[in-house]
Amino acid sequence: MRAILALALAVLGLLSFAGPVQAEAPPVLLRHVNVVPMDRERVLPDRSVLVVDGRIAAIGRRIEAPAGARVIDGRGRYLMPGLADMHVHSASALDMQVLLANGVTTVLNMGGASSAFVDQVVPAINGSRRPGPHIYLALRVDGTPRYGQLVVATPAQARAVVDLAKTNGYDFIKVYNDLAPEVFAAFVEEGRRLGVPVVGHGVTSVGVAGQLAAGQLMIAHLEEYLYTFFFPPDADVGTRAPEESQIAEAVAATRRAGAFVTADLGTYATIARQWGRPEATAAYRRDPQWALLDPAWRLAWRRSGYETREGSLEDRLRFLGRFARALQEAGVPLIAGTDTPTIPGLYPGASLRNDLHALREAGFTPFEALATATRNAGAFIARAHPGTTCFGTVAVGCRADLILLAGNPLEDLRALETPEGVMIGGVWRDAAALRALLDEVAAAYRAIVAGPTPAAD
């Protein structure tokens, strides 16, 4: 019986128009909702949005509910694309639940995921058989074992690794600091041939300028420019900030290359806030979200060592804010990515809101900040993998990855804090269902972690 059902579902999946869908999910009609489409800065008041098979089927003033449709009244509320965190190291089914409950409907895992996650959890979530955001994967490679990554020492190995990455479902190669120049070049060339683009860090032996010229699609942290562009590679400059007069050249090189950049200002600000400050890291452990953090990461946060560092990153943070603003003004597409949960304080989901607030502080409008986590992320995947179902805007034909908010996020980003509903894979989850996802995570961790409660910690 089970086999017959599975076969029937497989046939349905083949026949269906959409990509990742839940074959049984009924159509959903959201009515009387203010749509924030994120194609440009505007609100479409009092619209209906019909979702069929996980895609947006229609947007209009009056749409009849199809037979069997679930109808949701969105009166007075705002419907926008789900959020994308395009730099996470979360790699567990439970972390994915936390992200989804926070309105994150797309993530790019940038390295360190286990085979079990890649081979089993990702297909289940991307196939809507488990709750979680749509997951893209990058395979992280380096030239030496210094940072504990997969070592790739020759161009021939690089070509084989791209082939293997593709076979195993990876969407990107993430390059790391210590690759040799000829190995980096082989990754770019083979990645282009097989459709697995190169993204990632500054490679010390090549430099961000050379990587951009070679066609690296995305620079994974704004601060990478500090290490191989603004200062000579391996220069000992402490925590000094570059001259602001150098920004124009970096912006021009990035723009010329047509590359995307992850600004990750919120991440850098979070590091700056705990640099040499034990009281900051202690505060993270008193956050109610501590109960939702994977115990392995709780241990890692306790051992991070940022609290004992010397000096201050404040000058660099200010510099990176101005750099981000200059990239934005030049039309370089910035995408949001937070590195959650590798750095203390970067709770999955909350770290993305933190990043958007940091962009606001750097002079971005709410629309510009939100674009990094919606439309720009969609444009990035569209460029990397042409033909993928669109996401990141509320538009007919795109993935119906949607969040319903009580307030207008274009006026105040704090509206993102408590989504009233999230739609992904054709499935609608209201606030109670989202809460249940979080409760399940907290209960799972409580069951295995003994000892004092976080508050007494």
Write down how long the chain is: 457
Give the count of residues interacting with Zn ion (CB under 5 A): 2
Closer residue to Zn ion in complex, CB, 101/110: 110
Closer residue to Zn ion in complex, CB, 262/376: 262
Structure tokens at 199: 């993204």
Closer residue to Zn ion in complex, CB, 110/362: 110
Q: Minimum distance from CB of 43 to Zn ion (Å)?
A: 34
- Which value, to the nearest 10 degrees, does the dihedral of the CA atoms of residues 267, 302, 102, 353 take? -20
Q: Minimum distance from CB of 420 to Zn ion (Å)?
A: 31
Closer residue to Zn ion in complex, CB, 227/428: 227
Structure tokens at 242: 């570059």
d(CA 130, CA 127): 8
CB-side exposure of 351: number of CA atoms within 13 Å? Answer: 33
d(CA 124, CA 383): 25
Residues 346-405 binding Zn ion (CB under 5 A) are none
Q: Minimum distance from CB of 268 to Zn ion (Å)?
A: 12
Closer residue to Zn ion in complex, CB, 222/437: 222
Q: Minimum distance from CB of 443 to Zn ion (Å)?
A: 29
Q: Minimum distance from CB of 108 to Zn ion (Å)?
A: 10
Q: Is 142 in the site for Zn ion (CB under 5 A)?
A: no
d(CA 104, CA 351): 11
CA distances from 47 to 78, 90, 242 (A): 10, 35, 49
Closer residue to Zn ion in complex, CB, 346/410: 346
Structure tokens at 138: 């990058």
Residues 37-56 binding Zn ion (CB under 5 A) are none
The strand ranges marked E within 363-424 are 402-405, 421-424
- Which value, to the nearest 10 degrees, does the dihedral of the CA atoms of residues 141, 142, 146, 148 take? 10
* H-only helix segments in 275-313: 278-286, 295-302
Q: Minimum distance from CB of 254 to Zn ion (Å)?
A: 19
* Contact assessment for residue 174 and residue 110, using Cβ atoms and an 8 Å cutoff: yes
Binding part of the chain for Zn ion, among 226-234, 281-289, 339-347, 423-431 by CB under 5 A, reads: 339-347
Tell me the residue type at 238: G
Q: Minimum distance from CB of 266 to Zn ion (Å)?
A: 13
Q: Minimum distance from CB of 136 to Zn ion (Å)?
A: 14
Binding part of the chain for Zn ion, among 336-344, 361-369, 386-394, 424-432 by CB under 5 A, reads: 336-344
CA distances from 402 to 105, 236, 374 (A): 8, 46, 10
Q: Minimum distance from CB of 178 to Zn ion (Å)?
A: 15
Phi, psi of 237 (to 5 degrees): -115, 10
Closer residue to Zn ion in complex, CB, 190/339: 339
Binding part of the chain for Zn ion, among 286-294, 331-339, 367-375, 422-430 by CB under 5 A, reads: 331-339
Closer residue to Zn ion in complex, CB, 224/339: 339
Nearby residues of 330 by Cβ (< 8 Å), 6 or more positions away:
251, 252, 254, 255
Closer residue to Zn ion in complex, CB, 171/339: 339
Residues 277-306: x/- map of binding to Zn ion (CB under 5 A)? Answer: ------------------------------
Closer residue to Zn ion in complex, CB, 95/339: 339
Closer residue to Zn ion in complex, CB, 110/437: 110
d(CA 262, CA 273): 20
Structure tokens at 252: 């021009």
Start-to-end CA distance of the chain, whole Å, equals 51
Residues 63-122 binding Zn ion (CB under 5 A) are 110
Q: Is 339 in the site for Zn ion (CB under 5 A)?
A: yes
Binding part of the chain for Zn ion, among 191-199, 320-328, 334-342, 378-386 by CB under 5 A, reads: 334-342
Q: Minimum distance from CB of 293 to Zn ion (Å)?
A: 17
CB-side exposure of 17: number of CA atoms within 13 Å? Answer: 11
Closest CA to 370 of 43, 29, 57, 19: 43
Phi, psi of 425 (to 5 degrees): 60, 30
Q: Minimum distance from CB of 65 to Zn ion (Å)?
A: 44
d(CA 346, CA 361): 18
Q: Is 199 in the site for Zn ion (CB under 5 A)?
A: no
Residues 225-254 binding Zn ion (CB under 5 A) are none
Binding part of the chain for Zn ion, among 136-144, 181-189, 271-279, 337-345 by CB under 5 A, reads: 337-345
Binding part of the chain for Zn ion, among 129-137, 267-275, 298-306, 332-340 by CB under 5 A, reads: 332-340
| Residue ranges in contact with Zn ion by CB under 5 A | 110, 339
